[in-house]
């Protein structure tokens, strides 16, 4: 099940950028998180357990965040 990138609830749609959101958060603005390890911007990635934020500096940095995590 894909989670909303803004609040972490189950996603029902995607926004214009293709990021999964729920119906309440579809029109909300949100910022792309920064990596907790190195400070680089994160990219939306999909793994076998669902979508998550991963560091854009991978494989040099292995930082990740759950969707909806602040």
Per-residue pLDDT for 50 more than 70?
Answer: yes
pLDDT value at position 62?
Answer: 94
Higher pLDDT, 62 or 21: 62
- Confidence category of residue 28, pLDDT binned at 50, 70, 90: confident
What's this model's pTM, rounded to 2 decimal places? Answer: 0.66
Contact between 9 and 22 (Cβ < 8 Å): yes
pLDDT number for residue 69 = 67
């Amino acid at each position: 099940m894909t989670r909303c990138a803004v609040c972490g609830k189950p996603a029902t749609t995607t926004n214009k950028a293709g990021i999964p959101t729920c119906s309440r958060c579809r029109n909300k603005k949100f910022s792309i998180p920064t990596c907790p390890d190195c400070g680089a911007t994160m990219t939306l990635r999909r793994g076998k357990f669902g979508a998550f934020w991963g560091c854009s500096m991978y494989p040099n940095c292995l930082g990740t965040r759950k969707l909806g995590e602040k």
